[in-house]
Amino acid sequence: MWPTSSGGAREVDKLEEEPVSLDAGRIKALMSAVADSRDIGAFELLYRYFYPRVRSYMVKMTRGNRILAEELAQETMMRVWHKAGLFDPARAQASTWIFTIARNQMIDSVRKSSKPDFDPNDPAFVPDDFEAADVLIERQQSAAALGRAMATLKGGYAEVLRLSFFEGLTHSTIAEKLNLPIGTVKSRIRLACEKLRTALQDEAK
Amino acid sequence: MIEHHLDDDMLLQYAAGTLAEGWSVAVATHLALCPECRSKLAVLESVGGYFIDNEIANDANVSRDWESLKAEIDAGKIDKVVPIKKRSDSDRTYPEPLRTYIEAAGGLRWRTLGRGAAQMIIPTGDETATLRLLKIPAGQPVPEHSHRGIELTLVLDGSFSDEVSTFARGDIEMADDSLMHQPKADAGKDCICLAVTEAPLRFKSRLLRLIQPMLGI
């Protein structure tokens, strides 16, 4: 059983000393415990894993505003708790799903903009075809596969992805920062994306 | 079948949350029509998840913050409920999220550009991009307009062709000021497109700003 904050104080103290590490399988099990039985102990473990990471993301996206970053990370985790039932492990990894919640929170609060999104229930929405069902299976296996694929990217390519996701830089800002022509930044992005897709497809075969 | 897709570059910015709202409306509307690009988006979003997993985060105050979140959960604080949108089934030409933007502007209101062509500027919260719908009568050339920087066109109905290719529903065309072409709506059906351009300069004069939309500049 998961330690709860009322009954597992010693466990919690131990967790506080060492950073929590959870593998993808454990995260998935904890997510379904939260979704299916509103298990607060399971959620605490997820919180101790994800909250510091999301907060660190928010610190970067707010350009170092720690108070705002903390507030946004709390809000993100609150949404994880409330929306856990909407998480579909067949469609994405939990960390990916939580990233998208954090990102949308960031767009809303930091960029003060709305996030235009498609709606799968819209009658004009074109659903996935049968071939895309293979992609779903591919995604289920993709945490480890993606890690391996990311590890094969050369430094300059992974860096462009990191600057986009974790520094929130636009491509022209990345070009300025790395002192590269914008065309080079765009071609690195294209090559990095192709390489990731190929690596994931190869793993899925 | 969609043949002209989004650039990885544009998809990555959408996935990372760095793409401005105006462009994001067109990207998301294409995504609604294109399972292939949605699958690419899923891979990119999982890169975001990868960076979350691999973030070296410090654990300062995690217990304190957990206690405060738990207190809110125990107190039954409910997240803001997002109202479910009412949907009109009548016109599938405009997928979400575009339809919501059109409705927020008071519905479709075409403004004539002459020779049967018409446009509608769609307001967004984004001052850096201009979003507009264009209707080009079947068989007619796309009205002359200067590209200022890049322009993204998404076909919603009918089709148009230039020297190189044909663009039909769901297809994306990216153009910049170096592209010299004369696109023409194909015969048989009026062509309706969503076009995003970098926003025009903001005029200092209030009067000019007021009439700017009427001039369509």
Q: Rounded CA gap, A22 and B87, in Å?
A: 41
* Residues A77 and A145 grouped into a single domain: no
**CA dihedral over A74, A78, A79, A85, signed as positive or negative:** positive
Work out the burial of residue A125: count CB atoms within 10 Å of its CB; fewer than 13 is exposed, 13-18 middle, 19 or more buried. Answer: middle
Residues in Cβ contact with B16 at an 8 Å cutoff, skipping those fewer than 6 apart? A103, A164, A165, A168, B44, B48
Please name the residues in contact with A195: beta carbons below 8 A apart, sequence gap of 6 or more.
Answer: A149, A152, A153, A157
Q: Does residue A124 belong to any structural domain of this protein?
A: no
pLDDT tens digit sequence for A65-104: 999 999 999 999 999 999 999 998 888 899 999 999 999 9
The DSSP symbol for B145 reads: -
- Residues B110 and B94: their CA atoms lie apart, in Å, by 14
SS3 for chain A is: CCCCCCCCHHHHHHHHHCCCCCCHHHHHHHHHHHHHHCCHHHHHHHHHHHHHHHHHHHHHHCCCCHHHHHHHHHHHHHHHHHHHHHCCCCCCCHHHHHHHHHHHHHHHHCCCCCCCCCCCCCCCCCCCCHHHHHHHHHHHCHHHHHHHHHHHCCHHHHHHHHHHHHCCCCHHHHHHHHCCCHHHHHHHHHHHHHHHHHHHHHHHC
Specify whether A11 is located in the same domain as A70: yes
Q: Tell me, yes or no, if B49 comes closer than 8 A to chain A by beta carbon.
A: yes
pLDDT of residue A204: 64
The pLDDT confidence band at residue A146, using thresholds 50, 70 and 90, is confident
A chain contacts of residue B50, beta-carbon cutoff 8 Å: 95, 146-147, 150
Which of 142-171 (B) contact A at CB < 8 A? 170
CA–CA distance, A142 with B43 (Å, rounded to integer):
9
pLDDT in the model for residue A46: 97
The C-alpha of B84 sits at a distance from chain A's nearest C-alpha, in angstroms, of: 11
pLDDT score, position B198: 87
pLDDT for residue A17: 45
Counting beta carbons within 10 angstroms of the beta carbon of residue A185, is it exposed (0 to 12), middle (13 to 18) or buried (19 or more)?
A: buried
Chain A residues closer than 8 Å to B49 by CB: 92-99, 143
Inside any domain, residue A126: no
Of the candidates A115, A130, A146, which is a domain's last residue?
A115
Q: Tell me the shortest Cα–Cα distance from A30 to chain B, in angstroms.
A: 16
| pLDDT above 90: percentage of residues in chain B | 63
Q: Per-residue pLDDT averaged across A39-56, rounded? A: 96
Is position A133 within any domain? no
Does residue A59 fall inside a structural domain? yes
pLDDT at residue B127, as a whole number? 85
Q: Assign residue B107 a region: left if phi > 0, alpha if psi is -120 to 50, beta otherwise?
A: left
A67 and A22, same structural domain?
Answer: yes
Please name each of the domains of chain B with its CATH number.
1-82+94-217 (2.60.120.10)
Task: Tell me if A146 and B59 make a contact (CB, 8 A cut-off).
Answer: no
**Could you tell me which residues are beta bridge partners of residue B195?**
B132, B153
Same-domain check for residues A103 and A149: no
Q: Are B66 and B33 in contact (CB under 8 A)?
A: no
Q: Is B159:B186 a contact under the CB 8 Å cutoff?
A: yes
A10 and A90 part of one domain: yes
Residues facing B130 on adjacent strands: B197
Provide the pLDDT confidence category of residue A14 given band limits of 50, 70 and 90. Answer: very low
Same-domain check for residues A80 and A148? no
Residues A59 and A142 in one domain: no
Tell whether A108 is covered by a domain. Answer: yes
Residues in chain A closer than 8 A to B99 (CB atoms): 122, 124
Give percent of chain A above pLDDT 90.
58
Q: Is the pLDDT of residue A5 over 60?
A: no
State yes or no: pLDDT of B217 exceeds 70.
no
Domain count for chain A? 2
* CA end-to-end distance (rounded Å), chain A: 36
Q: Which of B85-99, B105-119, B194-208 shows the highest mean pLDDT?
A: B105-119
Q: Which chain B residues in 81-110 lie under 8 Å from chain A, judged by CB atoms?
A: 85, 87, 89, 92-97, 99, 101
- Among A115, A148, A177, the domain boundary falls at A115
Give a yes or no: residue A131 inside a domain: no
pLDDT the model gives residue B86: 58
Would residue A130 count as lying in a domain?
A: no
**B212 vs B217: CA distance, rounded Å:** 6
CATH number at residue A188: 1.10.10.10
pLDDT at A2 over 70: no
Residue A148 has pLDDT above 50, yes or no: yes
Answer whether residue A129 is part of any domain: no
Residue that is written with structure tokens 């590890």 in the block: A151
Same domain assignment for residues A78 and A25: yes
Determine which of A2-6, A65-69, B116-120, B192-196 has the lowest per-residue pLDDT on average.
A2-6
ipTM of this predicted structure: 0.86
- A128 Cα to chain B: minimum distance (Å): 5
Numbers of helices and strands, H then E, in chain B? 6, 9
Asked if the Cβ–Cβ distance from A129 to B20 is below 8 Å, we say no
Same domain, A142 and A111: no
Higher pLDDT, A120 or B206: A120
Q: Last residue of some domain: A82, A115, A148?
A: A115
For B3, other C-beta atoms within 10 Å of its C-beta total 11
Question: Which of B:23-42 have CB within 8 Å of A?
Answer: 24-25, 27-29, 31-35, 38-40, 42
Q: Across the interface, do B28 and A142 touch by the CB < 8 Å criterion? A: no
What's the gap in Å between the CA of A166 and the closest CA on chain B?
8
Chain A to chain B Cβ contacts (< 8 Å): 215
Is the domain of A92 the same as that of A175?
A: no
For residue A1, name the pLDDT band (cuts at 50, 70, 90): very low
Q: Assess contact for B136 and B191: CB atoms under 8 A.
A: yes
Percent of chain B exceeding pLDDT 70 equals 82
Q: Nearest by CB to A116, from B21, B44, B68: name it.
A: B21
Rounded to two decimals, the pTM is 0.87
Residue range of the domain that includes A183: 138-205
**Inter-chain contact A189–B12, Cβ cutoff 8 Å?**
yes
**Which has more pLDDT, B178 or A79?**
A79
* Chain center to CA of B45: 19
Helices A142-152/A130-140 angle, 10° precision:
80
Question: What would the pLDDT profile of B62-83 be if each residue is shown by its tens digit?
Answer: 999 999 999 999 888 665 555 5
**Chain B residues closer than 8 Å to A96 by CB:** 42, 45-46, 48-49
Residue B209 has pLDDT above 90, yes or no: no
Greatest mean pLDDT among A136-145, A149-158, B43-52, B138-147: B43-52
Q: Are the C-beta atoms of A126 and B32 separated by less than 8 Å?
A: yes
Nearest Cα to Cα of residue B168 among B179, B180, B159, B156: B159
Whether residue A174 sits in one domain with residue A78: no
Give the pLDDT of residue B213.
61
Residues A15 and A91 in one domain: yes
Are B25 and A116 inside 8 Å of each other by CB?
yes
Residue of B nearest to A14 (CA): B63
Question: The CATH number of the domain where A82 resides is what?
Answer: 1.10.1740.10
